A and B are shown apart, each in its own frame.
Chain A
Amino acid sequence: MTALLPPRRTLADREDVLGAMLLGPALAYVILLVGVPFAFAIALGFSNATAGSLSFGWAGFHNYGAILGDPIFLRALRNSVVVTVGSQVLVVILATAAAQVFRATFRGKRFARFVLLLPWAVPVSLAAIAWTWIFDSTFSVINWTLKAAGLLHGWLYWLGDPALALFAIIIVQAWRIFPFATVIVLAGLSSIPQEIVEASIVDGAGFWRRLFRVELPLLLPVVAVAVLFGVVYTATDLGVVYILTGGGPANTTHVLPTLAFQRGILGADLGQGAAIAVFLLPFLIVVAIGMLRLAHRTEVGGAR
């Protein structure tokens, strides 16, 4: 038997070398396609570079000073926060509700799960275009439905009114993230030991008490992860806002990524565009650390 095996150390035995070799491509990928552009963006934020020339002059905090004094930027910043927080609140509520539904066994569950996951699988641009039809100023399905049901008097200009437009963006962002969050919460639900759920039933807890006192607290770390993903997805998303409103009407619905694109690429002011784009970074890092801490502190199944 032993004669058949190579007598000397092969590559497979040398885990240090093998590990480095296997990690190499992934590392190169991350450095070249994520790390370098990211460093570029930060550097650009401190420069007066424009799209028209190759000159790269140090501008210090000039770009940041400029955007902080710009009402359109401040509005976009506020919008970013409102859209992110608003959509994530919706997502958490919808995902926990949907997860409860999908935990039950019912006919057509597979099909329902397939439909549930669709919004997540559809390309953002395609979905956003479909939504522009739903929110269309003349043909809006929502308006006509409400009208037919006798619930709407007058007319809603979904994408023409700044407040409604922001609301529409929140809905689309929530719609886009919520299937993913549902899957995560479902996984979390199934990780709660069955005996704990049964204990709460025998202990006399009804549905709501069970949900709020037992299941949700145990789901907290998992929900935190889902929200973390959702925050990053939403706060950095360009497509939805760009296609739905293009930042309009009158620059009232810009979020940071669309404004960065408008200023940096369309407006050719690379420096300012980069400054806008990386502006949220420190906040996102703080949010991420906070969420991960929360997830770490509340360990699921600590009693086992």
Chain B
Amino acid sequence: MDLSTRDGEFLVLLGSSGSGKTTLLRMIAGLEQPTSGEIHIGDQRVDRDVPPRARGIAMVFQSYALYPHRTVFQNIAFPLEASRTPRKQIEEKVRWAAEMFSISRYLDRYPRQLSGGERQRVALCRALVRDPKVFLLDEPLANLDAKLRNTARDDLKRFQRQIQTTTVYVTHDQVEAMGLGDRIVVMERGKVRQVGTPQEVYEDPVDTFVATFVGQPPMNLLDTGDPSLPPRTLTGFRPEHFLPQSVFGSGEDLRTFRFAVRRVEYLGSDRYVYGSVAGSGTPDATIIAKLPATIVLAIPEGETHEFAVPRRALRYFDPETGLRR
């Protein structure tokens, strides 16, 4: 793979477990040695002889890895002590960082006395005081409960914008990736599948892997057997573009489908409609339509309906290679 970040960028490595995203992060940190290839930070090559401490990086671990026997103050001060910073400067810097994450009142507490969100902020503080060239974050939100995760995500993004430090962020959560990343790197089995802004990755996936990995529910893929297309072409469209034909205005250039509805799932803000498209080359494939609550049209189960997708929302893939056509 060949991957480079832009200065001050928030780069998200997105992949399922085993995709190599954490290994890549650990190699950047120097916790693991690459068997081949080069890693550069700034204009310095670091992969051979530069130990983690000299790479100008700071890392936040999934478990936060706070030192349980040290107070919050001592935790944040640890990297500064290791770099033999004068006492007074340590004091100032810790207080400044704690202020920034509003954890000043916890400085004398031990990690076990803090909640998950507070621990996470302590870990960020500890990373911040090193003035790193790169922040490496390994699923820092994964251990928080869902409610806290949203606010923590917002805090994190604001904080990164404020300090303008290049950040590499590893996650398997696509919502996090889309929400946080300036650019997303989609990884699978140690290979980079696509690099792009959240919008590019979502709207223009380079292959079927990215198309189905990003987006919830995933992009629908089917062989329409359309004579105007090259033989054996997979047509892809997002569930939210697949709507009853009557919803669209008359001016829209549509591709219509006869959609045999099997089941309707009511999810409050959306309805997921599961079914299959008759007459296609893949009649058994489950196709999902995502209808926003604003569409109140009744969709009885077990019947066939006229559904349509705007032609501009269709994407075509080669079934052999999975690549875009």
What residues make up the interface of A, taking CB atoms closer than 8 Å to B?
Answer: 193, 195-196, 198-206, 209, 213-214, 217-218, 220, 298-304
A202 touches B68 (CB 8 A): no
The answer to whether A202 and B69 touch across the interface, beta carbons within 8 angstroms, is: no
Q: List 28 A-B contacts (CB under 8 A).
A: A193-B63, A195-B61, A195-B65, A196-B66, A199-B66, A200-B67, A202-B29, A202-B30, A202-B53, A202-B58, A202-B59, A203-B53, A203-B78, A203-B79, A204-B53, A204-B130, A205-B53, A209-B82, A213-B78, A217-B70, A218-B68, A220-B69, A298-B69, A302-B110, A302-B111, A303-B64, A303-B68, A303-B110
Which chain B residue has the least Cβ–Cβ distance from A199?
Answer: B65
Find the A residue at minimum CB distance from B64: A303
For A198, the chain B residues whose CB sits under 8 A away are 31, 59, 61, 65
Q: Distance in Å from the Cβ of A202 to the closest Cβ of chain B?
A: 5
- B110-128: which residues lie under 8 A (CB-CB) from chain A? 110-112, 119, 126
A294 nearest CB across to chain B (Å)? 12
Residue B52 lies at the interface, judged by CB distance under 8 Å to chain A: yes
Q: How many chain-B residues does the 8 Å CB contact rule pick out?
A: 29
Are B79 and A196 interface neighbours, CB within 8 A? Answer: no
Q: Within residues 21 to 78 of chain B, which ones have a CB less than 8 A from any CB in chain A?
A: 29-31, 52-53, 57-59, 61-70, 78
| Bound: A196/B64 CA distance, A | 8
How far does the Cβ of A190 sit from chain B's closest Cβ, in whole Å?
16
A302 surroundings in chain B (CB, below 8 A): 68-69, 110-112
A300 with B68: in contact, given A195-B63, A199-B61, A202-B58 (CB under 8 Å)?
yes
Is the CB–CB distance between A304 and B63 below 8 Å?
A: yes
Do A196 and B53 touch (CB < 8 A)? no
Q: A196-B68, A304-B68 are in contact. List 14 more A-B contacts (CB 8 A).
A: A193-B63, A195-B61, A196-B65, A201-B53, A202-B57, A203-B130, A204-B52, A205-B82, A213-B78, A217-B70, A218-B69, A301-B68, A302-B69, A302-B110
B294 at the A/B interface (Cβ < 8 Å)?
A: no
